[in-house]
Amino acid sequence: MKIEILGSGGATITPKPLCSCDLCKNAKLKGIPDVRLGPSVYIHDVGILFDTPEEISYMLNRSNITNLNSCFYSHYHPDHTMGLRLFECNFDYRNSLVKPTPYNRNINVYVPDYVRVEMESHLSLWNHLSKFNNWELISLHTITENEAVDIVGYKVIPIQLNQTFVSGYVVENKEKRVLILMDELIGWIPEGLGHFDCVVLPIGLFTVNPFNNERRWPENHPLCRTEADFLAIKNIISKLDTEKVVFIHIEEVDGLDHETLKQYVEYYAVGQDWQVGYDTMTIEI
């Protein structure tokens, strides 16, 4: 199983537009791994995509991806959905005199029912997807929790998280099993999920500097109430049975470059295979 981190950033990409902080200035100079676009993960073997941030079209081209069989959505937040115009790639504008017509291809788009509820009332997301479905650019499917979707020898299974509008996904074939968690893990306690060869999940905020134990974020900061910090993520990992962890959804607002993040993670990993993800990173499972 070949997994690619198309985008490792969070709610804001790095470098952030119009920003002159040291993190963003250095990212402009260094490029990848310090440049981070919106959160998205792709499985090469069968052309499965998770989430469509604003930059998804660029990211697919950057990684020379030409096969997109299916797309699964984790939740409605704009950093995970607002690149859905990607599906207009199935329009053939050149060969129609009257109106654009679909190419002879179609992308399956899967949305868990508990994710659909919020898509119907936020950002006109469900209206957009329904229109694309009507135009035969996609085949839009509503699925239920734990409903296995079979895709060319793979199963993709949605699991509802503590924030009930959010879905994680178990992906498995005959030999390997991975867990993909795109965002919003606050308050989630994993139970009975079995063994995974790899878990991809958000890194959380580093509210505390591990080397001197000083707080980097004040306890009363609003983000500390709405976002899981790294120690909470670490606790989630301790309840998972996994051989490898790859961290994504790295927030520009946390102000940490790739090298510093690696040092922080290595401090806590204690010999475990924990890796800081970056754009275009591939993981062979």
Q: How far apart are CA 266 and CA 207, in angstroms?
A: 16
End-to-end CA distance of the chain: 5
Residue 94: pLDDT band (50, 70, 90) is confident
Model pLDDT for residues 99-126, shown as the tens digit of each residue:
666 666 789 999 999 999 999 999 999 9
Domain range list for the chain = 2-284
Q: How far apart are CA 44 and CA 42, in angstroms?
A: 6
Which residue has 């490898």 as its token pair?
Answer: 244
Model pLDDT for residues 202-225, shown as the tens digit of each residue:
999 999 999 999 999 998 999 888
Model pLDDT for residues 225-240, shown as the tens digit of each residue:
888 999 999 999 999 9
pLDDT at 251 over 70: yes
pLDDT at 145 over 70: yes
pLDDT at 65 over 80: yes
Model pLDDT for residues 22-36, shown as the tens digit of each residue:
999 999 999 999 999
pLDDT of amino acid 96: 67
Residue 149: pLDDT band (50, 70, 90) is very high
- Tell me the residue type at 18: L
Q: What percentage of the chain carries pLDDT values higher than 90?
A: 89
pLDDT at 257 over 80: yes
Mean pLDDT of the 268-278 span: 96
Mean pLDDT of the 187-213 span: 96
The burial class, CB within 10 Å (0-12 / 13-18 / 19+), for 214 is exposed
Q: How far apart are CA 166 and CA 74, in angstroms?
A: 6
pLDDT of amino acid 97: 59
pLDDT of amino acid 35: 98
pLDDT of amino acid 99: 61
Mean pLDDT of the 147-153 span: 96
pLDDT averaged over the chain?
Answer: 95
Residue in 223, 158, 232 with CA at minimum distance from that of residue 11? 223
Q: What is the DSSP string of the chain?
A: -EEEEEE-B-SS-BSPTT--SHHHHHHHHH-TTT-B-S-EEEETTTTEEE---TTHHHHHHHTT-----EEE-----HHHHTTGGGGGGGEE-TT-SSS-EE-S--EEEEEEHHHHHHHTTSTTHHHHHHHHHHTTSEEEEEE-TTPPEEETTEEEEEEE-SSTT-EEEEEE-SS-EEEE--S--TT----S--EESEEEEE--B--B-TTT--BSS-TT-HHHHHS-BHHHHHHHHHTSEES-EEEE-B-GGG---HHHHHHHHHHHHTTS-EEE--TTEEEE-
Paired strand residues for 49: 42, 71
* Least confidently predicted of 88-92, 138-142, 261-265: 88-92
Q: How far apart are CA 243 and CA 274, in angstroms?
A: 9
pLDDT of amino acid 101: 64
Domain 2-284, what fold? Metallo-beta-lactamase; Chain A (3.60.15)
